[in-house]
Structure 1
Amino acid sequence: MSRAGAVVVRRATPADAEAIATIHVDAWRHNYRGLIAEATLAGLDVAARAAAWRSQLDAGAVVFVGTHSNIRTDIRTDTQADTRAGELLGWVSVGPFRQSESARPEVRSLTPGWAELYGFYVAPRSQRQGVGHALWQAALEWCLDQGYRDLGLWVLAGNVPAIRFYQRCGLRDLRLDQDFTIDAQPLVEKLMARTLTRPA
């Protein structure tokens, strides 16, 4: 367990699966409104995602969660998550960079040996309160401890707040955009990356 400012960060357990799924759904509906079709966002299922997260955590997935009893929780969420002290306020999932046969050749040749942030979400009610920064620090420390020297992630094109956050974390757009679809909707994701170094 670590503390970054007032935010407590710890490794997630299978018992956190439902809370992680709730944040996942709430953040998608908040962050991707206007970018992803409303029908897709409305159809997100917390229970299904919780089951998937429980399975991944049982299998050893590396997920860090942030908690803080004093961060204000006065913004209501789509799923009306409990706002008791100590609840989860955000999470980040990290591991080896996933290699896809459908990826551009430049990506396949560039990313072996990299770490990847698979998902990074802060509950809408707790954004801009230091949770994201604390989770980033935990993920960065884990990557360095595992010996990674480069980190990449995919971010939805048009998600300006996320892109700006990652830029503040030192990542840059590699201009290796990739097309994909969600429920037949064509979308574009950007590959952002940075070299990892320990603070002096």
Structure 2
Amino acid sequence: MTDIAFRSAEASDAEAIARLHVAVWRRTYRDLAPADAFATLDEPYRLKRWQEKLAHPQPDQLVLLAESVGRLVGIGAAGAPSEEAFDSRGEIKFLYVDGEFKRQGIGRRLLKRLALHLSAHRYPGAALSVVEGNHAAAAFYEALGARVIGRHVDAGPIWRSQNIIMAWDGFDELIQ
């Protein structure tokens, strides 16, 4: 396994985050998202959003980076819930790993750190949304003990995706 370093994101990381976000998002959603989403949700669009997110953090926000020899290979973010259906659980907002680095435990390690963060902020558990049809992500979270607790439509900036809501009622399975 490659040595991976984890650290909190800084404003100067926005460009690298946007680049990785777009690359992983496009690979993941190539058969799920409409063409106009691909045309609009490009690096300049994501860069602006990440710059805003890092400059103006939301309540309890943590953005984590995973790096290998100075190269960004993973992104994770967590914070206060954005959906009522998440109830009082903290939200895992983003979890993206570079395709070249999948199956090396990076996603699991990012998720563990995000869970520790949410636990420290006294959330009773964690929840996240998975686009319907993203079977690999759903299977990953299920393998880590998540269960489906509902569905919602993500209004998104361009694409109103159908999502399943997955949750953990505690953190034991995530922080092992």
Number of the residue aligned with 2:139: 164
Matched, 1:36 2:33: yes
Instruction: Evaluate the alpha carbon distance shift between residue 126 and residue 5 of structure 1 in structure 2; reply closer, same or farther with a 3 A threshold.
Output: closer
Equivalent position of 2:163 in the other structure: 189
Unpaired segments of 5 or more residues in structure 2? Answer: none
Aligned partner of 1:188: which letter?
A: Q
Letter in 2 for 1:64: L
TM-superposed deviation, 1:10 = 0.8
Q: Structure 1 residue runs of 4+, over 4 Å off?
A: 180-186
More helix by share: 2
Number of residue pairs the alignment of both structures matches: 171
TM-score by length of structure 1 reads 0.76
Q: How does 1:37-56 map to 2 (within 5 A)?
A: 37-56=34-53
| Alignment CA distance shift 1:56-1:151 (3 Å) | same
Q: CA RMSD in A?
A: 2.3
Query: Which residue number corresponds to residue 68 of structure 2?
Result: 68
| Cα drift, residue 183 of structure 1 | 7.6
1:58-137 counterparts in 2 under 5 A?
58-60=55-57, 61-69=61-69, 86-99=70-83, 107=85, 111=87, 113-137=88-112
Q: Secondary structure at the match of 2:31?
A: coil
Specify the structure having the higher radius of gyration (Cα).
1
Question: Structure 1: 5+ residue runs without aligned partners?
Answer: 70-85, 101-106
CA distance in 1 between partners of 2:7 and 2:158 (Å): 37
